[in-house]
Structure 1
Amino acid sequence: MSENITPQETATQAQASPLRCITGAIISSGMAYALYSLMIAIATSFASKPVHSTNELVIKITSAVRTLVVGIVALGSGIFGIVAIGLIALGVQLLIQQLSQPKSN
């Protein structure tokens, strides 16, 4: 089930540029900050509402679910942060490559 790709389809791919990398990094860092703020709000909400139960199983399940929720949001925040750092590094690399190329007429 292989699809044949014509040369016109591959020619429409966008080339990486420093401006595109910086724009992507700004968007990604905004998402990372938003997820970080959400994580802090969730953790604060969980901390302010303790579990009112004497059943040990309920307490353990509640603790596990709260940890998973905060952990998943923290993982998303970390991934977007790493992507932002990578895009900034790629943008700097592309900018250095463009500046170091000899000018051709």
Structure 2
Amino acid sequence: MAPPESADPALTEALPTTPLRCFTGSLVAGSLAILAYRLTLSVASTFANKPVTSDNPTVVNLSAAVRTLVTGIVALGAGVFGIAALGLFALGLQLVIKKLLDRQSADSES
């Protein structure tokens, strides 16, 4: 579906990729990954310290499933943000190296 004609072109235009933007995004994603990892550890230790005290097997199975789901979702978030941080950092390094090589080739041609 095409954007409406009355849309502001500044909002639909992509911003340029710069090393500063990459490293800033990597810092933000890395911070979120660390926070999510710490939350994962906290959730897991809380669940381990508070066992389910019930004789009903349905309650025990359901609580185990919910605990696994909650821990898994938080761990997945930590992993996704960690991989995003590594990717953005690598992209920033690639852009810096590309600029340096372009500058060197321009200096050698002059």
Distance 1:16 1:71 in 2: 33
Q: Which residue of 2 aligns with 1:89?
A: 90
Structure 1 Cα separation of the partners of residues 70 and 87 of structure 2: 26
* TM-score (normalised: structure 1): 0.88
- Root-mean-square deviation (Å): 2.4
Change (3 A) 1:52 1:93: same
For 1:5 and 1:93, how far apart are their aligned partners in 2? Answer: 37
Q: Which residue of 1 aligns with 2:99?
A: 98
Report sequence identity in percent: 43
Map Cα deviations across residues 34-70 of structure 1 (whole Å, 9 max, x no partner).
0000110011000000000011111000000000000
- Give TM-score, length-normalised by structure 2: 0.85
Name the amino acid aligned to 2:2: S
Gaps of 5+ in 1: none
State the partner residue of 1:45. Answer: 46
Runs of 4+ in 1 over 6 A off after TM superposition: none
- The one-letter amino acid of 1:22's match is F
Aligned residue pairs, count: 105
Bigger drift between 27-36 and 14-23 goes to 14-23
Output the CA distance in 2 between the equivalents of 1:72 and 1:48.
20
- After superposition, what is the alpha-carbon deviation per residue over 1:48-98, rounded to whole angstroms, capped at 9, x for unaligned? 000000111110000000000000000000000000000011001101110
State the alpha-carbon separation in 2 of the partners of residues 100 and 10 from structure 1.
32
